Structure 1
């Protein structure tokens, strides 16, 4: 246990030192440099499941649109088919997002390729469920990839990241404790970026948070979720920032941000939503309204 925690601490420290040397290069490399720079005031925008308002969620066109929009990070979800192919899908089944039905774990990749993705209005499109490999090829050098649901598949993800030279371009986040993260990453000489999720609405939040606090080294970032902005949440955010880590927050729905959500920004004043998140110290915001968020951030000189 102690040795694994020491390994994880050195992993985060080494990653920060290695990446801070490069501040130019491809678009993705510039975003990675920002992730490794806790002093940067630029706010990075993460598009939830790509641009799903205009294209099917977790699809190649949704990712491509996010890239063209100027988004910094695209969030995707992974699922594993019965023949061990990693595909992009948020749900355990394909019922909601495609023209087909069934548990992904019980369906072959060939069968999934025969169905079509549905758009947000439930209309069937001509687009197909992409594989992780297809998504990586599209994103390489253009945008940082955040894998939300997928930590359990790291043994399958890692070879693909090595194959395409994308270990530094992919950020995996999870609600696992530090010792479990270390047990996974210690199997490899080089790893992708990692960020723990601390959700104050879950009973496990304190255990997760304390496990990383024991490292005594700054992580790249923490994702903090809250349904009520309590003094404990405020203190946690301040300590994350003061400790040299980036603060990732979500503007997706109220239970993740105490009501500072995208719908409120659309219906009211974006400054009363996004502005408050920025003032809390957030420098990474995941949104379902990337265009609106980028526009607001640009008005404050916080985004390119």
Structure 2
């Protein structure tokens, strides 16, 4: 009985001490991840390398699906690249292809099918089998709602449906998170953007060895600094080196795709996987690249973190 009474007294004393202590201060709130991403995206001097995930995490989930987007957000990626097509009843859906044949259990041209008709079918994985998650093709609005305040978006074919896209991004409040790109003339892009109060981010795509692109590149360089330039090259040569220097000297960021060899002079994701990530990605980064679109985001992020180039 005495032992019980003593234990009770000790417990009471500990409780009173805890109650009398000032509550611990809550840790300072961190800025939203999207704020950090946008800050680095708009800062040409930032050494952080932004990772863009091509069609989301398509190795583990169906490409252009909501789980594929959620997965790369959890990885710590900075941007997800998604593709859009327009249905017969004017709904923007996520699909790289013009048909549903490859990525769903159905068949047909997207522009000849209504959204409801497409929803009868299920998304397939990269192994050409129906996903066990029973996923349907998402709309652009659904995808952007998932991305809001979490990750930026590169919208492939976004320029083709600019007015429809802007309507959705303004509704969701994500216009400043969405990037489109292309090789359109400066005047055409300016005219399109003049039609809207707010606009998507735009990035020129340049192949330095392409004769038409050389004139286009000159026109963009003559304008105010662009957010970034995507430079495509099948081999590193003097023309590519000159283009890279012009991009960096102009105060813009450099974007390189490591998706396949012909886009990055042979320094692709698969080569990095099969040989040395440090050697291959090291060459891409050391040329001044601060935005990389990849099909192997986990491997790339791990390498960048080893060099202190990614959070």
Normalised to the residue count of structure 1, the TM-score between the two structures is 0.90
Q: CA deviation at 1:130?
A: 0.5
Deviations 1:81-114 (A, max 9, x none): 1111000100111111111111111111111111
2:58: which partner in 1? 52
Q: CA deviation at 1:214?
A: 2.5
2:257: which partner in 1? 250
Listed as ranges, the gaps of 5+ residues in structure 2 are 1-29
Alignment partner of 1:88 is 2:94: yes
Q: Is the 8 A contact 2:209 2:240 kept in 1?
A: no
Q: CA deviation at 1:205?
A: 1.8
Structure 2: distance between partners of 1:272 and 1:156: 42
Q: Is the 8 A contact 2:56 2:71 kept in 1?
A: yes
From 70, 79, 93, the counterpart of 1:64:
70
From 203, 206, 210, the counterpart of 1:198:
206
Count of residues paired in the alignment:
280
Deviations 1:146-204 (A, max 9, x none): 11222110100001111111111111111212111112111011112111111346553
2:18: which partner in 1? none
Counterpart secondary structure, 1:93? coil
Listed as ranges, the gaps of 5+ residues in structure 1 are 1-23
1:267: which partner in 2? 274
2:141: which partner in 1? 133
Structure 2: distance between partners of 1:243 and 1:25: 29
From 7, 14, 33, the counterpart of 1:27:
33
Alignment partner of 1:78 is 2:90: no
2:121: which partner in 1? 115
Counterpart secondary structure, 1:38? coil
Counterpart secondary structure, 2:39? helix
Deviations 1:45-79 (A, max 9, x none): 00000000000000000000000111010000110
Q: Is the 8 A contact 1:47 1:73 kept in 2?
A: yes
Alignment partner of 1:279 is 2:309: no
Structure 2: distance between partners of 1:107 and 1:252: 31
Within a 5 Å distance, the mapping from 1:121-200 to structure 2 comes to 121-125=127-131, 126-200=134-208
Q: Relative contact order, CA 8 A, sep 6+: which one is greater?
A: 1
Structure 1: distance between partners of 2:53 and 2:207: 19
2:48: which partner in 1? 42
Q: CA deviation at 1:210?
A: 2.2
Change (3 A) 1:108 1:165: same
- The RMSD of aligned alpha carbons is 1.2
Alignment partner of 1:207 is 2:178: no
Q: Is the 8 A contact 1:201 1:227 kept in 2?
A: no
Q: Is the 8 A contact 1:179 1:211 kept in 2?
A: no
Counterpart secondary structure, 1:187? coil
